Structure 1
Amino acid sequence: MPLADSDRRLVEAELGRDPTPAEAALFENLWSEHCAYRSSRPLLSAFDSESEDVVVGPGDDAAVVRVPGTDQLLTFGVESHNHPSYVDPYDGAATGVGGIVRDTLSMGAYPIALADSLYFGDFAREHSRYLLDGVVEGISDYGNAIGVPTVTGSTQFHEDYEGNPLVNVACVGLLSEDRLVTAAVKEPGNTLLLVGNATGRDGLGGASFASEDLAEDAETEDRPAVQVGDPYTEKLLIEANETLLDRDLVVAARDLGAAGLGGASSEMVAQGGLGARLDLEAVHQREPNMNALEILLAESQERMCYEVRPEDVEAVREVAERFDLGCSVIGDVTEGNYVCEFDGEVVVDAPAEFLADGAPMNDLEREEPAPAETDLPDADLAEAFDAVLASPNTASKEWVYRQYDHEVGNRTLRRPGGDGALLTLPETDEETAVALSAGANPNWTDADPYRGAYATAVENATNLAAAGARPLAAVDCLNGGNPEKPDVYGGFAAAVDGLADGCRDLSVPVVGGNVSLYNDSNAGPVPPTPTLAVLGVRDGYDAPGLELAGDGNLVLVGGHADALGGSEYLAQCGGSDAFPEPDDSGVAAVRDAARHDATLAVHDVSDGGLAVTLAEMVTDDAGVDVELPDAAALFSEAPGRAVVETTDADALRETVDAPVVDLGTATGDGVLSVTVGDETVAYGVEAIREARDVLARELD
């Protein structure tokens, strides 16, 4: 997609001349929606991003927050690799992992955990299963090879992702305060080095490719825009980066992602308020006869750009050689423009700030989403229960996460498959655990973009609360369709506002993120999908699990809800309803319940409502016998609530500041028995497993 006429006129006015071909291509990519957030940046001011724990907020490769009371810092970032994962699901997903890990490295951190949030079309479609299989394999092969555990995430299916799946990956890193690095260059005269893989022609135009709708022939025509990953080189880069930090050889750093070398180097000098002079021919190359534009914009993977003091250049070369990585001196930091030379000619000469931040924002029309009408089905209870349990959205995701190494690094306290993940932090003096949750539910935001996005914040915070953790910060990956369509942009804007309000009400600063628009194809736009990843901490490692002990009473902290909008029940049985009114008041109560001495098990209420929550808590040796007032209480997915098994319900009521409703008792027979009015449904544990094992049955 060439530089738009209106943009070209701005560039010509700034430069006082026609841009060179390399300049035009660089502006096209850096001013794309993917890099410049031209349609979304006006909306992002809705987010609060500050707290006493936030060290680095939005604008760098990753955010940085402090582990309270320690000198340890956590980096936190999230990225999307949506279009590439449609064109080539394996490499698209794998390089998404590689990119977010390098964002972590560029802040001076060592990656300790990954979370993947995946969204595909109708699971019944062969193409959806093909994409799922390739994406999971790509994430697994890359993450496992580099030794970073994938500890949590989500997998959702919705027919509107058929032509455009979403692959969102978050990463957490760990560093001590003295190792913190940012992207902003510091000093004129310092040297810029490129370390890592050689530069090839793969990924050319990836940023502009990610900023337009997927065409019908995208799987063949857009294949060159997809990068190819090499996890073994990435592992060497991780260890080399640690060595460079140990020896205090890095002044500033940025990984090479969207727009390649041109994007990383121009953004580094722009953030430092300086310039640079690059020799593009000095870049170590994988392919012969590459031209200036290809060297600037190729998105070849496993590469880092470092600012280094001149006297340290040889030391960096030695480290790169030790880890069998390429290393090129590509230029210097200056006080002038961003200048690139090739074959004895200046091919780029522009103000770095104008390149990186000069794109004008779009002023787009929006249509407010229409509220849902109430039209509830008259469904048979047993048939509805069967359908909800067996839905791919609520079914077990063990087929996905069993392919990931979620214990490498020896930090994982809580494995995937339940609420939020927990990891140890032995670097602190106390027993401090890191909690992590990530995901979104497209049924919620499809039903009501604002309330559904607000509920996304509440749901992720409740996942942490169920482990007794409090949130520190969040990052978001805001996915939407073509923003030039007023109805699409209206839904996207409403989701942004809902997510911002939910995080604000929960006192969770949103410290960074990613925006991915133009997720639109011949099949139509994706639902507004505000993936949220929330990072938290708790004191102590002894958090309750979700499986029943079989020795207590069951209560519902947060009380019953009766709105069914966005629920899997309606998706399976038809009909519509208003999405539940946003309410974050139960999150703190769930956290208090998880910390209570009488608590044996905690599991939040989410996809599939109480029907799925209770089914997931049943074990071979522990079942449940509960009574509910109506079907809405069984299937409502209103978040901010949790089922708690307790040995002292009265003491729990006195502790938490929220409604606590008696549900029934835990039993020792491994049977899920639910009575609604005069109807009772019962499932043995094997029947539950059989119903919920749909992914493995179809994909193994």
Structure 2
Amino acid sequence: MSMLPAEDHKLIVEKLGREPNTLEQGCFLNLWSEHCSYRSSGVLLRNFKTDGKNVIIGPGDDAAVIKFDDEYVLSVAMESHNHPSYVEPYSGAATGVGGIVRDVISMGTRAVAVLAPFYVGPLDAEKNRWLFDNILQGSADYSKTIQVAAIRGESYFDERYNGNPLVNVVCVGLGKKEHVMTSISKAAGNRIFLFGSKTGKDGLGGASFASNAMGEDEEVPEKSAIPAGDAELERRLIDATIEIIEKGLVESCRDLGAAGLAGAASELADKGNFGAHVLLDAVPVKYEKMTAYEVMLAETQERMLAEIKPENLSKVMEIMKKHNVPAADIGYLTKEQEYVVEYQGKVEAKLPIRFLIQGVPKVEMPSKAPAPRTKDLVTQKPKSPETAAEVKKSVLKMLSSYNLASRKCVWEKYKETTLPTVVGESGGDAGIMKVTDKKGVAMTCGCEPAIGLLDPYAGAVITVIENAMNVAVKGAAGLCLVDNLNFGNPKKPDQYWILKQSVLGLADAAKKLNIPVVGGNVSLYNESDEFDTAILPTPSIGILGIVSFEKPIPTSFFKNEDETVILVGTTKVEMGGSEYYRVSGMETAGIVPSVPADYDKIVEKVVEVCASGNVTTAHDISKGGLGIALAKMVTAIGADVDLSKISGMSDEVLFAESPARVILTTKSPEKVMEMLKGIPAIEIGKTKKASELNMKLAAGSVVLTKEEIDEASSSIEKAMKLGYKNQTY
């Protein structure tokens, strides 16, 4: 009985002229899975503009490589570990970090930072607290051990992530341009060199598992089948990989990820138009009597594959011994474009390698917009608070929303991962990593799932704008973008339509902002039979930008008294997809925020003014709106602001999530306003030496003290203190 889908099985038999054996079926099943082949999403990804003046290596390798300056390059990659993290959150999140770090290392760059966007069910449920706590701890512990800074993330909560949490990770690497490596193989006769952990049985079928809904077609695997991480070995593996690359001993290199050895060896060979002959008897294994299927398709972590010239094998092996990294010569590249696997004197698989890697049928699936929701009535809205006291109550309620509350207890998990090269405050708009005395890299990540639920195209566009603005307020233009497309079952026309609209939104916004999309990952089938739900549309992204240290970089929080507060951008009464409507139980009501036609010019002006040295504080306005952004900026310094001239009811002024808006403070308002000429910008108040925010609104003045803000914002910390009784689930 074939384990392959009927149509795939028929095509493969026609091509081979025979029935594929069990191992060969396993190779096709995993390499032709959505996770590995992008069989239903690949046609959509062609909409992305992937090149640019600073792009050295774009999509298609383990990671992208971007020019930083004449000496240094940055590498960047984004991946998901969603399904494993629901079954075993600690190991799932840890190995998610480990895998994306190896993607960066294989390019000849050393990992310097990770960014972690997580999407989980509400913390009122004990199991979600267990999931969130273990996801955080797993990623933090791994990052700490391998000495990579976790400097930015996102935590988003919604009941549709019950049963299917999302664990996405961005990794940024740094290296010298002369050490850049690729996975394009170079010459027949060169050896295939495997190094890292001994191969076990963990993660078997991981790629195909990640290409099914939780509970669909196959049983959710036992926890023992989820790959476990060994961060200590990874640390040694990193050092060994960098050393053999910098010494010029490697021709091509790649991480062993999805589909294990079956995927890595065949893909590396095919990229150079070669075949491969793999000798499984040489593979270091954890258990005796492992089958060829297990050795080839296990997704054991902490493993790398390199192409080595025969004359360099002994030098490479010496370096592996020095770092105490298991390693072996397991085969060679061939002129014949065949993938041959030999084990115990028998040929276990013999496949045309180009067909295995590129023969998967790629099609655009049928798509259809979802039926209109019965609650989608623009006239439906919460009752607006009428008095200043009622407005204040609404602000405090919003601050206590899990999606707006303080992440202090989250970042405390990562405090030991901070490195001396990380500069600026924690919890700000973007993380900043120092590269040279004069320049560094700003990085951010995130998504707008609630807006995407109502309008996936708009949600994706706003996702790009918000992330571009996060680096813009640090004086950095978007350098490159990576994405992780987390969606439901592409076989369902409504889910595929949502995916398609989201991709188009990301592509259009990135083009308008002139940010190349240099890599990413597609994670589909994120649906839960357990809860009968599909996740919210979650096109999570990461954006990098280059910052200059020659002038002060704006902080994200009020710093100096007696500075002018400036609001950049236009606030519109469009509340669809806002956290305010979600908190009010009316998430499907309202008009989705419209995007300013000139948002590219707004972002460009914000970059210019924030890089000028004339701005002390700059903060992007995103989830929660203007009122929440102002409240979160309060430190020992507060502000008096007049918002009464902005049209709309008080709650609409405070909580509308109109995109392309920022708050600036400056000692030179005339100079800054002159620089902002041509885009919407108004002076709204002054900072003061008092830990409070005083907002003048149509309903009256609302005063919030720092103590009140902090108390309301502590809901995540309070929820996590409740803990969980069940330690395993």
Q: TM-score range by the shorter chain?
A: over 0.9
Q: Distance in 2 between matches of 1:600 and 1:269?
A: 53
| 1:111 counterpart residue number | 111
- Corresponding residue for residue 420 of structure 1: 430
1:609 is aligned to 2:625: yes
Aligned residues: 696
How far off is 1:407 after superposition?
A: 5.7
What's the counterpart of residue 461 of structure 1? 468
Alignment match, 1:650: 670
Residue 376 of structure 1 aligns with which residue? 381
Specify which of 694, 697, 717 is matched with residue 673 of structure 1.
694
1:390 to 377, 400, 421: 400
CA contact (8 A) 1:622 1:671 kept: yes
Could you tell me which of 593, 605, 617 is aligned with 1:580?
593
Among 555, 558, 562, the alignment partner of 2:566 is 555
Report the residue type matching 1:319 in the other structure: I
CA distance in 2, matches of 1:269, 1:325: 24
TM-superposed CA distance for 1:561, in Å, is 2.5
- Assess if the C-alpha contact under 8 Å between 2:565 and 2:683 holds in 1: yes
Q: Distance in 2 between matches of 1:578 and 1:224?
A: 47
Q: CA deviation at 1:239?
A: 0.7
Asked if structure 2 preserves the Cα contact closer than 8 Å seen for 1:593 and 1:644, the reply is no
Rounded to whole Å, the distance in 2 between the matches of 1:197 and 1:472 is: 35
Query: Amino acid of the residue matched to residue 561 of structure 1?
Result: K
Task: Quote the Cα distance in structure 2 between the aligned partners of 1:78 and 1:633.
Answer: 36
Distance 1:25 1:217, change over 3 A: closer
Q: 1:56 to 1:684 in 2, by over 3 A?
A: same
SS state at 2:366 partner: coil
Aligned residue number for residue 659 of structure 2: 639
Structure 1 distance, partners of 2:420, 2:314, is 35
Secondary structure of the 1:394 match is: coil
Deviation at 1:179, TM superposition (A): 0.6
Which of the residues 475, 480, 497 maps onto 1:490? 497
**1:304 partner SS:** strand
Give 1:525's aligned amino acid.
A
Q: Conserved in 1, the CA contact under 8 Å of 2:448 and 2:462?
A: no
Give the CA deviation at 1:442.
Answer: 1.3
Name whichever of 566-575 and 111-120 sits farther off. 566-575
Could you tell me whether the CA contact under 8 Å between 1:384 and 1:573 is conserved in 2?
no
Instruction: Give the CA deviation at 1:355.
Output: 1.0
In 1, are the aligned partners of 2:146 and 2:232 still within 8 Å (CA)? yes
Question: 2:140, 2:417 within 8 Å by CA — same for their partners in 1?
Answer: no
After superposition, give the CA deviation of every residue in 1:592-639 in whole Å (9 maximum; x if it has no partner).
231344322111101111121111110123344332433222111122
Where do residues 148-297 of structure 1 align in structure 2 (5 Å cutoff)?
Answer: 148-215=148-215, 221-297=221-297
User: How far, CA to CA, are the matches of 2:361 and 2:206 in structure 1?
Assistant: 21
Q: Which amino acid aligns with 1:653?
A: M
Aligned with residue 690 of structure 1, among 711, 717, 724: 711
Which residue of structure 2 aligns with residue 410 of structure 1?
420
Cα displacement (A) at 1:491: 1.1
Q: Name the CA shift for 1:646/1:406 in 2 (closer, same or farther; >3 Å).
A: farther
For structure 2, list consecutive stretches of 5 or more residues without a partner in the other structure.
Answer: 386-390, 722-729
SS in 2 for 1:443: helix
Aligned residue identity for 2:331: G
The structural deviation recorded for 1:218 is 8.9
Aligned to 2:452, the other structure's residue is in SS state helix
Distance in 2, Cα, partners of 1:563 & 1:215: 38
Cross-structure match for 1:600: 616
Deviates more, 1:362-371 or 1:346-355: 362-371
- Secondary structure of 1:663's counterpart equals strand
Q: Helix, strand or coil for the counterpart of 1:18?
A: coil
CA distance in 1, matches of 2:377, 2:450: 15
1: distance between equivalents of 2:509 and 2:382?
Answer: 30
Q: 1:218 to 1:21 in 2, by over 3 A?
A: closer
Letter in 1 for 2:606: V
Task: Pick which of 371-380 and 616-625 moved more.
Answer: 371-380
Distance of aligned partners of 1:479 and 1:443 in 2 relative to their CA distance in 1, 3 Å threshold = same
Q: Please, which moves more after superposition, 121-130 or 20-29?
A: 121-130
User: Cα distance 1:689–1:581, how it changes in 2: closer, same or farther (>3 A)?
Assistant: same
Which amino acid is the alignment partner of residue 592 of structure 2?
A: F
Q: Give secondary structure in 1 for the equivalent of 2:328.
A: strand
**Residues 614 and 624, structure 1, Cα contact 8 Å, conserved in 2:** no
| Mapped contact 1:442–1:527 kept (Cα < 8 A) | yes
Checking the alignment, whether the CA contact within 8 Å between 1:292 and 1:342 is kept in structure 2 is yes
Give, as a single letter, the amino acid of the residue that structure 1 aligns with 2:93.
A
CA distance in 1, matches of 2:652, 2:291: 63
- Counterpart residue identity of residue 536, structure 1: G
Looking at structure 2, the residues matched to 436 and 278 of structure 1 have their Cα atoms a distance apart, in angstroms, of 40
Cα distance in 1 for partners of 2:696, 2:366 equals 49
Q: Name the structure 1 match of 2:388.
A: none
Q: Does structure 1 conserve the Cα–Cα contact (< 8 Å) formed by 2:253 and 2:307? A: yes
Contact preservation (8 Å) 1:158, 1:443: no
Distance 2:566 2:415 in 1: 34
Moved more, 403-412 or 602-611: 403-412
1:61 is paired with a residue whose SS is coil
CA distance in 1, matches of 2:309, 2:354: 23
Q: Secondary structure at the match of 2:643?
A: strand
Question: Which residue does 2:539 correspond to in 1?
Answer: 530
Q: Is contact 2:55-2:65 (8 Å) kept?
A: yes
CA offsets 1:94-139 (integer angstroms, 9 cap, x no match) = 0000000000111111001100000011222222111100100110
Preserved contact between residue 140 and residue 414 of structure 2 (Cα < 8 Å)? yes
Contact 1:625 1:667 (C-alpha < 8 Å) held by counterparts? no
How far does the alpha carbon of each residue in 1:239-291 deviate from its partner, in whole angstroms, 9 at most, with x for none?
11121122111110111100000110000011111001011111000111100
What's the % identity of the aligned pairs? 38
Indicate how the Cα distance of structure 1 residues 219 and 424 shifts in structure 2: closer, same or farther if over 3 A, else same.
farther
Q: Is the 8 A contact 2:425 2:555 kept in 1?
A: no
- How far off is 1:220 after superposition? 6.3
In 2 relative to 1, CA 32–247 (structure 1 residues): closer, same or farther, beyond 3 Å?
same
SS in 1 for 2:510: helix
Is 318-327 or 551-560 further displaced after alignment? 551-560
SS of 1:288's partner is: coil
Contact 2:190 2:332 in 1 (8 A): yes
For residue 416 of structure 1, report the CA deviation from its aligned partner: 3.1
**How far 1:415 sits from its partner (Å)?**
3.9
SS in 2 for 1:140: helix
Matches within 5 A, 1:433-444: 433-444=440-451
CA distance in 1, matches of 2:478, 2:554: 17
Distance 1:250 1:108, change over 3 A: same
How far does residue 222 in structure 1 lie from its aligned partner after superposition? 4.2
Shift in alpha-carbon separation, 1:664–1:406, aligned structure 2, 3 A? farther
How far 1:655 moved relative to its partner?
0.4
Asked if the contact 1:88/1:219 (under 8 Å) is kept, the reply is no
Q: CA deviation at 1:2?
A: 2.0
> Hey, what's the Cα distance between the residues in 2 that align with 1:349 and 1:318?
33
CA-CA distance at 1:145 after TM superposition: 0.5
Compared with structure 1, are the counterparts of its residues 396 and 117 closer, same or farther at alpha carbon in structure 2 (3 Å cutoff)? same
User: Equivalents in 1 of 2:179, 2:246: separation in Å?
Assistant: 8
**Amino acid of the structure 1 residue aligned with 2:493:** P
Query: Does the aligned pair in 2 maintain the 1:53–1:65 contact within 8 Å?
Result: yes
After alignment, is 321-330 or 219-228 more displaced?
219-228
Q: Is the 8 A contact 2:548 2:611 kept in 1?
A: no
SS at match of 1:85: helix
